[in-house]
A = this chain, B = another copy of it.
Amino acid sequence: MSKEKDFVKEITSREEDSSQWYVDIIRKAEMADYSPVRGCMVIRPYGYAIWEAMKAGLDRRIKETGHQNAYFPLFIPESLLQKEAEHVEGFAPEVAWVTQGGNEALSERLVVRPTSEAIICSMYSKWIQSYRDLPVLINQWANVVRWEKVTRPFLRTTEFLWQEGHTAHRTNEEAQEEVMKMLEVYRDFVENDMAIPVIPGRKSDREKFAGAHATYSIEALMQDGKALQAGTSHNLAQHFAKVFDITYLDEDSQLKYVHQTSWGVSTRLVGALIMVHGDNRGLKIPPKIAPIQVVIVPIAPKKAKEMVLDKAYQLKARLSQAGIRVHLDAREEYSPGYKFNDWEMRGVPLRLEVGPRDIENNQAVLVRRDNREKLFAAFDQLEAVVDQLLNSIQNDMLTAARDFMETNSFAAADLAEMEKIITEKRGFVYAWWCGSEECELEAKERMAATIRNIPLDQEGARQRVCSEAKCVHCGRDAQEVAIFARAY
């Protein structure tokens, strides 16, 4: 029993220190580990299996919307990166430089890609000639490097994994449609697979991507009241096309610049998963992206061991046959109680216990990870009950996270009110904003809150704030409601 208590004691409680709680879960659930390389982490098998499940859900959606995967070089010659002024200004301070290859010093330095616009645009300029070549709808799964000063596993690391979509279109309308389509793909994936509610919206000019005409994001709220940008979709307009000379001969025989987009999500999302759903017993993974959906723990006193294990393997085979990702924990060196804690820490959505009495009663015990509810399922209905429970868990986790976000969404009429909320409770603060960078910066300086985005659903946002459309800082007329928050 003491062993079991120790197990949970090993993670700091979230209320006490949510930062330490976060890294404790990562360590204890064996999701990732620090490496001997500054700012880089190792993604361990359990963490990587979660990322693989997420990739599968995203990749399917990316392909269903007509995109194809490709792979572009890791290295970008300095001269290419420098072509687009805002882009290089945004990224140059945070890139890793390769200056030597084998035994030769390079005549031109190479950047380890922080993002791939420059290298991809240089290829698009070759590939795109005619309107018949458009649209180009390409995605890449890759590692990227940004020389971060302060790092945290999954949230901000020097190297991280992501996907980056890069598309080219005939018109701005088509490009804008693509930008919104992919933002919706991200919203759909993050809400329906990861059970994390998000607010889709437009970034302020200050917060947009270096080189973009407009950036859109989905923003999620962590349990500590801080926001996290969970995905971005950029309308690059013709900025890169003009710099990299990406033109096409249109049907009217005119040579025109293409309109481009780019969009990405990264292993940051794994960090969001921990911070949105986790509790003091560890991780909680929604069934759709759980590497293990059901863990079977046999409760086997010595004399009944064989019978119980036989039954456990039988149930495992049946669930597996039904397409459920199931694991049987047959380890002999650990007690059932230790295993319960271990798998709760790893966030497996459903635990199935089976012992001699259960076998007598022809039923299994099922325990939900999300609310720890205990239920019984007759053996002959097991697949149906498990399937239905996994669906309920998926839905209930989204509902719980949505309730949390609602409870922690506020409105402020002026900066004093906003500051009180941000300081005391954090959360999302909806407020009228005049659109000036000055007012945006004032919030940042006074309370370290930034504009997360200007929600697409302005109608819904307006209902949260006072009817008088005056900027939260300067009091001038405002057209839009923005969300302010402290953020990761």
Contacts and interface: CB of A to CB of B under 8 A. Distances in A.
A343 interface: no
A126 B71 contact: no
A97 B45 CA distance: 28
A101 B96 contact: yes
Interface string A189-227: 000000000000000000000000000000000000000
Interface in A148-172: 158-159, 161
A74 interface: yes
B98 A69 contact: no
B98 A93 contact: no
Given A97-B99, A99-B99, A119-B35, A74 B40 contact: yes
Nearest to A101: B147
A143 B102 contact: no
Contact of A161 (B36, B71, B94): B71
A454 interface: no
How many interface residues does chain A have, given as a range? 35 or more
Interface in A101-128: 101-103, 110, 112, 119, 122-123, 126-127
A360 interface: no
A159 B394 CA distance: 41
Contact of A93 (B33, B44, B72, B102): B102
Given A42-B123, A75-B159, A123-B42, A99 B100 contact: yes
Interface string A330-372: 0001000000000000000000000000000000000000000
A43 B68 contact: no
Contacts of A69: 45, 48-49, 52
B110 A101 contact: no
A145 interface: yes
Nearest to A157: B73
Given A93-B102, A112-B112, A119 B45 contact: no
Contact of A35 (B72, B99, B138): B72
Nearest to A132: B333
A207 to B, nearest CB: 21
A99 B97 CA distance: 6
A88 interface: no
Given A80-B36, A97-B99, A112-B98, A42 B71 contact: yes
Contacts of A40: 73-75
Contacts of A435: none
B147 A77 contact: no
Contact of A119 (B37, B43, B96, B142): B37
Which of A51, A101, A142, A145 has its CB near the most chain B CB atoms (within 10 A)?
A101
Contact of A70 (B38, B42, B95): B42
A79 B433 CA distance: 53
A45 B33 contact: no
Given A93-B103, A132-B333, A68 B42 contact: no
A54 to B, nearest CB: 13
Contacts of A76: 37
A74 B35 contact: no
A333 B68 CA distance: 22
A52 B100 CA distance: 32
A161 B73 CA distance: 10
Contact of A33 (B33, B52, B95, B126): B126
A26 to B, nearest CB: 14
Contacts of A49: 68-69
A69 B50 CA distance: 11
Contacts of A102: 93-96, 147
Contacts of A38: 101
B48 A70 contact: yes
Nearest to A136: B45
Interface string A50-82: 011000000000000000111111111100100
20 contacts: A33-B127, A35-B119, A35-B123, A36-B119, A37-B75, A42-B72, A42-B73, A43-B70, A48-B69, A49-B68, A74-B112, A74-B145, A95-B102, A96-B102, A97-B98, A97-B99, A98-B99, A98-B112, A102-B147, A143-B143
Interface of A: 33, 35-38, 40-45, 48-49, 51-52, 68-77, 80, 93-103, 110, 112, 119, 122-123, 126-127, 132, 138, 142-143, 145, 147, 158-159, 161, 333
Given A94-B102, A99-B99, 8 more contacts: A35-B72, A35-B73, A35-B119, A38-B101, A40-B74, A45-B138, A96-B100, A142-B143
